[in-house]
Amino acid sequence: MQAKLQEIVNRLVEAHGENLISVILYGSAVAASGNRPPSDFQLLVVTHYLSAVDIRRASVAMKWWEMSGFPRATCFTKKEFLNSLDVFPIEFRQMQRSYRVLAGEDLLANVVISKLNLRLLTEYELRGKLLRLRALYLATSDDPEQVTRLVTDSVVSFVQYLRPVLELLGDVAPLGRLATVRRVGEQLNIETAPLERALRLRDEPVDLLDMEVQDLFASYLTCLEQVIEAVDRI
């Protein structure tokens, strides 16, 4: 892993030269112990400017990075980075939680995220996903298999936006999804068993009776509605 990280830095330095400001590795795996797959590591690349020519120069390095199994890198100019703190508060807070500077400036060290922006975007994302969940259920409600898949596929994206809820409450979100759900339940005084069950079903699928599937979705939907109502009151 270390050799690959050094390789991408070398390639980016060669591609961008003095235009390169910072290369930062982030993601849940950065602070985790043990071997983690490349897909758990993400890259933030910041430059002084980023024209079409600059993008082409870096394309070989970025293609190598992705072919090595890593997610597509996030690229900003420094001006864009500073001007985007208000529109990407969730993403930048997640970066701050677990990152490592591979080269250049530590741009995340002094970043201050507005709690107002964080709350607004968190509620926006949760409400948008709830609307989509209802729409998809409308189209699949008569198919238990598809409803089960809808629950297990959607729960991960909902949990992603539960982490900033804990930050808004002055808490530190656990790295694990199950632990995050439980902590949210404790903080908001909400029964989160349906979300926990959805996570377990995702990791260890079991066959459910038709009635069990419908009951699961109903409780899952109610739980999410309660969480969003609580976020609205923060």
- Give the pLDDT of residue 33: 62
| Domain-wise residue ranges, the chain | 2-104, 115-233
CATH topology (fold) of 2-104: Beta Polymerase; domain 2 (3.30.460)
Average pLDDT rounded to a whole number, residues 23-29 = 86
- Give the pLDDT of residue 2: 86
- Give the pLDDT of residue 123: 96
Token readout for 1 is 């892993």
- Give the pLDDT of residue 173: 83
Average pLDDT rounded to a whole number, residues 144-166 = 95
Per cent of the chain over pLDDT 90 is 82
- Give the pLDDT of residue 83: 94
- Give the pLDDT of residue 53: 96
Tell me: the pLDDT tens digits for 102-148? 999 999 998 888 999 999 999 999 999 999 999 999 999 999 999 99
pTM of the model: 0.76
Q: Does the 115-233 domain belong in CATH 1.20.120?
A: yes
Tell me: the pLDDT tens digits for 28-86? 778 766 677 888 889 999 999 999 999 999 999 999 999 999 999 999 999 999 999 99
The DSSP secondary structure of the chain, one letter per residue, reads -HHHHHHHHHHHHHHHGGGEEEEEEESTTTS--S---GGG-EEEEEES---HHHHHHHHHHHHHHHHTTPPPPEEEEHHHHHHTTTT-HHHHHHHHHSEEEEEE--TTTT----HHHHHHHHHHHHHHHHHHHHHHHHHHTT-HHHHHHHHHHHHHHHHHTTHHHHHHTT----SSHHHHHHHHHHHHT---HHHHHHHHHHHS-----HHHHHHHHHHHHHHHHHHHHHHHH-
